[in-house]
Amino acid sequence: MGPLLSMWASIALLSMTLTAILASQYPFEMPGTPHVSQANVTFKEGPDVFSPKDLVQLTRPGSAVANPSGDLAFVSLSKYSLDERKYVNFMVVKGLTEYALSRRTDRKIQGKSQEVYAVSVQDEGVKSASEPALIGKFPATGLTNFKYSAEASTLVFSAYVWPDTNLSTIKEQDEAYENRGTTALVYDTAYVRHWDTWAGPKRSTLFSVSLKKENDQWVLGDDYLASLNGTDHYTPVEPFGGTDNFDISSKHIAYTTKDPSVPEAWHTRQNIYLVPLKGGEKPKQLTTGKQGTTNSPVFSPQGTKVAWTEMAMNLIVHFLQSKDCYLRP
């Protein structure tokens, strides 16, 4: 979304620039006069010139994830190639002074599954990264917001799922929904839109799965635990929530979600809850229930405390009756 949005911004900027150049070069013509010549627009390029092409092809970084010792950060990068007319995604391991590149240029997600790879970082004076080695495949695509606890050998992530919270049935249910024969949507609750997309039947929820090193080999488990199954909690909260909506320790997941006891559309309130990483217990609410929105829960290094930010008051939206009031798509 981020890179795409900035790409849009760049294209919009580029076309605005082009329009401005063209407008200033055309001589005044009476309406109806056919164009007989075409202005040739060439962009100035050179090592000391920042051209529109450079702008479009700028590398767009994702957010950095630090390793536990804090001397390295992993950053995913995305770069648009004008020659190939596509985005090229790769990862960088960045140290304080050196960096190593691990390019995964042509490995696109294909078919039904999303894969997980391991890259080992060697430190022989200069840090370097190995070629990515395939660890395993997930049962679905679209999995995101990964967090790993090395102590608990557990990987936690989010996915948009159907009410059965089953990763294996997402694709099949997506296809059935796409082919339902109508695009009409009927809402009987007030929450209809997540910013710029219609709220649909799928919701965002958290999963955990075992990921551990056995005999020097990484092994991905196949028992996916839907940590919030059976609750009416959904996180990350749409549309802006991401890895800042939950945190994991070696024993727990702390997350923010809309307070399920108040109408979603009219209240800002989000509560923070704690649930065991291995499941088996109901979520425990940590917030007082008087606050507004909450964000960025983080565990202390020992996992004994959770900190988060919160809005002091719950803001409630009141709609006064008005005959001029209408909803527009």
Residues in touch with ligand NAG (CB under 6 A)? 37, 39-40, 164-166, 168-169, 226, 229-230
CB-based burial label for 248 (10 Å; 0-12, 13-18, 19+) = buried
Q: How far is the CB of 56 from ligand NAG (least distance, A)?
A: 23
Q: Whole-number minimum distance, CB 147 to ligand NAG, in Å?
A: 19
Q: Which is nearer to ligand NAG, 166 or 296 (CB)?
A: 166
Q: CB of 53: closest distance to ligand NAG in angstroms? A: 19
CB of 51 to ligand NAG, least distance (A): 19
Residue number, 40 or 302, with CB nearest to ligand NAG: 40
| Cβ proximity to ligand NAG, 6 vs 169, nearer residue | 169
Question: Smallest gap, in angstroms, from Cβ of residue 224 to ligand NAG?
Answer: 7
Least distance from ligand NAG to the Cβ atom of residue 170, Å? 10
Instruction: Report the residue number, 80 or 207, with the smaller CB distance to ligand NAG.
Output: 207
Q: Provide, rounded to whole angstroms, the least separation between the CB of residue 169 and ligand NAG.
A: 5
Give 34 or 125: the residue with its C-beta nearer to ligand NAG.
34
From the list 219, 117, 208, 226, the residue with the least C-alpha distance to 170 is 226
CB 247 within 8 A of CB 295: no
Nearest distance, CB of residue 83 and ligand NAG, angstroms: 22
Which is it for strands 306-310 and 294-299: parallel, antiparallel or unpaired? antiparallel
> CB-wise, 9 or 22, nearer to ligand NAG?
22
CB of 38 to ligand NAG, least distance (A): 6
Using the minimum distance from each CB to ligand NAG, give the nearer residue, 37 or 321. 37
Give whichever of 91 and 225 is closer to ligand NAG, judged by the CB atom.
Answer: 225
Burial state string for 148-186 with b = 16 or more CB within 10 A and e = fewer than 16 = ebeebbbbbbbbbbbeebbbeebbebbeeeeeeeeeeee
Choice between 166 and 268, CB closer to ligand NAG: 166
3-state secondary structure string, the chain? CHHHHHHHHHHHHHHHHHHHHHHHHCCCCCCCCCCCCCCCCCCCCCCCCCCHHHHHCCEEECCCEECCCCCCEEEEEEEEECCCCEEEEEEEEECCCCEEEEECCCCCCCCCCEEEEECCEEEECEEEECCCEEEEEECCCCCEEEEEECCCCEEEEEEEECCCCCHHHHHHHHHHHHCCCCCCCCCCCCCCEECCEECCCCEEEEEEEEEEEECCEEEECCCCEECCCCCCCCCCCCCCCCHHHEEECCCEEEEEEECCCCCCCCECCEEEEEEECCCCCCCEECCCCCCCCEEEEEECCCCCCEEEEECCCCCECCCCCCCCCCCCC
